[in-house]
Structure 1
Amino acid sequence: MKFGFILFPSKDAIRPGDMGRYLEDRGFESLFYPDHTHIPATTKEYFDVAALPEEFKIGMDPFVALGAAAEATTTLQLGTAVLLVPERDPIVTAKQVASVDVLSDGRMNFGIGPGWIYQEMRNHGINPEDRWEVMRERTEAMREIWTRDVASYHGTFVNFDDVTSWPKPVQRPHPPILVAGNGPNVAKRVVAYGDEWIPMLRPTVLADIVRFKQEVRKPGSDAPIPVTLFGGEVESVDAYAKAGTDRVLFWIRPLPYADAVALIDRIALTLGSRLKDG
């Protein structure tokens, strides 16, 4: 099993290049960054944004942070966990993903999700009821852009003809697409337009991972689909491995350099030989 980190990149936190270099030096496999283009000041939805930790509101753009981390590392896997695709233009996002993949020589992982703050979606012109279908169409459209010299896509929410866009990703046909979600339909979505599953830590997630690894396959393949656990706890890594988890991302708060490296070292010490084996 592989181990990585996820945190919001922010002005006062450890810089992405420093974080990437330190993780690579300590033997960790990956660094992922989350995504919020903005946080609404108020919302009347089921979730009160006032209760969100400050880093949700001050995080930098994940692609800028990943570009900095790419230039500072050579082997570390990089990714989004997760990019809120309904809030992102697919033509622009396709170029951003491909650019990070080129800068990293093929180390980009594209974690995607629909978002969960409804007013945030509405501010981007998206009806929350449409978010899953918007995510599907935009992801399919990006795959067309990555894999064709001249791409077209026609759907309910995405329509374009004869688009040319470079660079193309180093990874072929494109970087792995990690589809987020813990609900009953997530397996169908992973099979339909993803390559991996990235669930969040929830009370039933280990049983869900066991069932997913046993039952879910891409058409024409007998190979289990990889699973990245978002927000795992270091004390439970043996249980995650037993369930069939392929990668664990430890969620940490944005910290200054000295505090961040001290935390990384404590986690590395706890993992011990598991880190080397991964």
Structure 2
Amino acid sequence: MDIGVFLPNYGPMATPDFIVDVARQAEELGYRYAAVCDHLFMDAKNAKVMSNVGTVDARTPNGDRPNWYDALTTLAYVAGITKKIRLITNIYVLSLRHPLSVAREVTTIDVLSKGRVALGVGVGWYNDEFVAAGVAFDSRGEITDESIRVMKEVWTKERPSFNGEYTKFRNIEFYPKTVQKPHPPIYIGGYITDGRQHFGVSTGKRPPALVRAARLGDGWIPCGANVDEVRRGAVMLHDLTREAGGNPTEKKIISHNMVSIGKTLDEAKRVAKTSMVERFGSVEAGVERAIVGTPDDAIKRFEDYVEAGASAFIIGFFTPTPGEVLSNMKSFSKEILPSLS
């Protein structure tokens, strides 16, 4: 089982030095992924509530204005200070950028890192940045689909051509090609805005993220989903993949979960209480969607997610200080990781 951690590229603890500290320690401790989140911008409240490193009551390095460092630029920097940890976006708002630019940046990171980058993409949910970027919010799904096809075209063809609704080119030269063949993995995020809503799995609908993952992706990243939603989503992803003519066993499910570990369940709840209420609506909902409890509780929860269909995890720690993030990473690697390998 592969487990990765979020880098503090945004939110309460986002500083260059701490990004380096988390990345280096993650590699030293044997975590599989170093993950970054992405937006063009976000208001301070949402940035704190949705932070994947720290708690909503953590101190920020810039007062009430949390820093936000670009996702791909951060991964390029981290590639230069690490040797083996995989680098992944979770989640990258693809529809806000030109796909050729994204393909160029991802190619560069893949080559410079010797094939360590993966791209987790989603359609986005924060309407303000679409307005600012001049991108139609209601078109973000079809733009994302086309952009994925564009990137695959330039990554896999010697003289790529594309005639789409948003991007057109003919017989261009796009070099170098990526180290990973046929291209870096592309995972589709089934992101929900604040944990209080699910993504349609429980209603029997065909969630667009799962349709996209079945047709265009190498897997699915459920964000803040509970075990039952992952289970239902996995079944639906497999069915949709077969429908699209693909092999369901080749689809990887990477679950995105926040984590709070304590000596007791009550201690773990106490540390994460404010964040769980703000992010998920209640402590009870947080316990259902995050990994909260003792090390033994956490191991059981991870096993439940694996039984439901997850094969990898990207986690963030609900802790109020940078020092506690690093200490949690160490204790997690000693007390929990060995039981999940």
Name the TM tier (shorter chain): 0.7 to 0.9
Matched with 1:45 is none
Q: How does 1:199-210 map to 2 (within 5 A)?
A: 199-203=222-226, 204-210=228-234
Contact 2:6 2:316 in 1 (8 A): yes
Aligned residue pairs, count: 268
Find the residue that maps to 2:225 and give its secondary structure: coil
Q: How does 1:41-60 map to 2 (within 5 A)?
A: 50-53=45-48, 58-60=67-69
Matched with 1:193 is 216
Matched with 1:226 is 252
Cα distance in 2, alignment partners of residues 83 and 198 from structure 1? 12
Change (3 A) 1:14 1:252: farther
The structure number with the bigger radius of gyration is: 2
Q: How does 1:115-130 map to 2 (within 5 A)?
A: 115-130=124-139
Percent identical pairs in the alignment equals 24
Matched, 1:175 2:184: yes
Contact 1:101 1:108 in 2 (8 A): yes
Contact 1:14 1:255 in 2 (8 A): no
Find the residue that maps to 2:124 and give its secondary structure: coil
Cα distance in 1, alignment partners of residues 100 and 131 from structure 2? 20
CA RMSD in angstroms, aligned pairs only: 2.5
Segments of structure 1 that go 5 or more residues without pairing to the other structure are: 42-48
Matched with 2:81 is 72
- In the TM superposition, structure 1's runs of 4+ consecutive aligned residues that sit over 4 Å from their partners are 54-57, 253-257
Segments of structure 2 that go 5 or more residues without pairing to the other structure are: 52-65, 191-198, 201-206, 259-289, 292-297
Contact 1:8 1:253 in 2 (8 A): no
Q: How high is the TM-score relative to the length of structure 1?
A: 0.86
> Which residue of 34, 39, 42 maps to 1:36?
39
Matched, 1:247 2:250: no
Decide which structure has greater helix share: 2
Change (3 A) 1:191 1:119: same
Matched with 1:24 is 27
Cα distance in 1, alignment partners of residues 129 and 170 from structure 2? 29
Alignment deviations for residues 32-67 of structure 1 (CA, whole Å, 9 cap, x no partner): 10101122x5xxxxxxx7444188652201112111
Contact 2:210 2:233 in 1 (8 A): no
| TM-fit CA distance, 1:73 | 1.9
Change (3 A) 1:28 1:212: farther
Find the residue that maps to 1:229 and give its secondary structure: strand
> Which residue of 50, 63, 72 maps to 2:72?
63
